[in-house]
Chain A
């Protein structure tokens, strides 16, 4: 039975008439790397801000380490935060400021230089924070989040502004911290291939609601087992024909084939019916595959189909 570091139930938050978060449920298990994914305006940042105690929800409850984040600042000793837009006291030097943060959290000041090295920012240790480039500032924000050795890291678009090499290094660092120190991560990002590299679970969020969440392997099973990819020379015509089948829930056509989602238990039936349908419309079937999908495909399936499962 996993213990959950973050448990949100029925969270709601409105900005005037705009519903940012709509009865959202979210659980982040201890020791997991969870990706929070969704389109722009889905409510990811609002959710993260509520979890961090920066925003009060209009409804629902959230507990982080079993405490309400707004009222219990001591839990912040366990949390590292990377905000979407990082701002620090601009006139202080990077190393000086991190040493100050060490003193805030009561960790040895040596740790400041250690984390600067960890994010390849040692050469900027003597620079004022205002003199850092956007990418360096992002690295600094990550160093700042890790300086007190948190058990949970919450990061909103952590890899924004980083070059490909720095992104890759950072993902390696996430994987290493997770493996070596069992640090739990909640990562929000638009860059799904990156998340798929490090995440073992995801929460897919759209219009303020979690459409699907859980272990990535289980989600793939749940959402892609009933999805079949049929390669054909006449995708549009085959799509129209397949749509007529009563157990087909959705069909998407592209230039090389169609992606079909069927009702539970109907996969075999589709295998049986497709050859005869193809014969009727004189289309060539070049292949039928099922079950495998990238995180991007999973995301697209869940978001476009509303996570009906």
Chain B
């Protein structure tokens, strides 16, 4: 008897099923969507404000990063919840066994789950953000697309690294509730550690900590690249420049950040595909 190739569409259906399960709590989704929509309002105000100062790269960076910070935070909570609670519960309760009875390789199942947990959330966030920026400030955004893109990539790298770590932890411990607690602790511990590192860098006048930190979170390199252009920020108390990476260096840090994300994701994929015994 020969195996038969499925004529169905398992990947799309598992993705659709995951979407239905991941986005069922209306409250968090509502706030996330509201914040994303709020971009329209903020973009209007910010464009008016920065327009006074001229259309410089730093203004574009300032606009994009400030527009994104709060919605990204909300969306990251949503993504952490989707991974830790969604996939974690599937593993904990055994729903994954049911999914493993469908004709789809394990890596494809994980991809469908991650597209729902991360991809769909980011698509909504960036879809609205980019649409808002293009509608409200096309003259400001279009000439600086590289800056806009780099800002988004830099801002997203660290949250994606955290999400990848949470994914790996979730797969290892298989407990949804515990994984989400670990994710939140990791998020806040990371924030505290970054603040401390920046403070130490300023006190010691050494860029080393900032450089190390930028590998994990390239938005710091981006921040110092642009803050160096302005008067106060990026300089220590004596007015000396601590660190002023070039745009190319920033791109290298972004690349390094994503390499880290990919490494952790590959570990998760390897574990899920080859080592996960149910």
Please give the residue numbers on chain A whose beta carbons come within 8 Å of chain B beta carbons, in ascending order.
Answer: 3, 5, 30, 49, 52-56, 65-67, 72-79, 81, 83, 85-92, 97, 100-107, 144, 151
Q: Are B94 and A77 in contact (CB under 8 A)?
A: no
Q: Are A103 and B8 in contact (CB under 8 A)?
A: yes
The answer to whether residues A67 and B24 also contact, given A54-B100, A89-B17, A105-B103 and a CB cut-off of 8 A, is no
Q: From residue B96, how far is it (CB to closest CB) to chain A in Å?
A: 9
Q: Are B21 and A72 in contact (CB under 8 A)?
A: no
Name the residue in B3, B4, B95, B100 with the highest tally of chain A Cβ atoms < 10 Å from its Cβ.
B3
Q: Are A91 and B1 in contact (CB under 8 A)?
A: no
Q: From residue A54, how far is it (CB to closest CB) to chain B in Å?
A: 4
Q: Are B17 and A79 in contact (CB under 8 A)?
A: no
**A contact residues around B94 at 8 Å (CB):** 83, 85, 87
B97 at the binding interface (Cβ < 8 Å): yes
Q: Are A87 and B21 in contact (CB under 8 A)?
A: no
**A contact residues around B1 at 8 Å (CB):** 3, 5, 30, 65-66, 78, 151
Q: Are A100 and B16 in contact (CB under 8 A)?
A: yes
Q: Are B103 and A88 in contact (CB under 8 A)?
A: no
B14 at the binding interface (Cβ < 8 Å): yes
Q: A85 to B95: give the CA distance in the assembly, Å.
A: 10
Q: From residue A155, how far is it (CB to closest CB) to chain B in Å?
A: 12
Q: Are A105 and B8 in contact (CB under 8 A)?
A: yes
Name the residue in A54, A91, A102 with the highest tally of chain B Cβ atoms < 10 Å from its Cβ.
A54
Which residues in window 250-278 of B have CB below 8 A to A? 275, 277-278
Please give the residue numbers on chain B whose beta carbons come within 8 Å of chain A beta carbons, in ascending order.
Answer: 1-10, 13-14, 16-17, 20-21, 24, 93-95, 97-98, 100-106, 275, 277-278
**A contact residues around B105 at 8 Å (CB):** 73
Q: A244 to B160: give the CA distance in the assembly, Å.
A: 76
Q: From residue B117, how far is it (CB to closest CB) to chain A in Å?
A: 14
Q: Are A100 and B95 in contact (CB under 8 A)?
A: no
Return the contact of B103 from the options A55, A56, A104 (Cβ within 8 A): A104
Q: Are B14 and A77 in contact (CB under 8 A)?
A: no
Q: A94 to B230: give the CA distance in the assembly, Å.
A: 60
**B contact residues around A53 at 8 Å (CB):** 100
The answer to whether residues A73 and B93 also contact, given A49-B278, A83-B98 and a CB cut-off of 8 A, is no
**B contact residues around A30 at 8 Å (CB):** 1
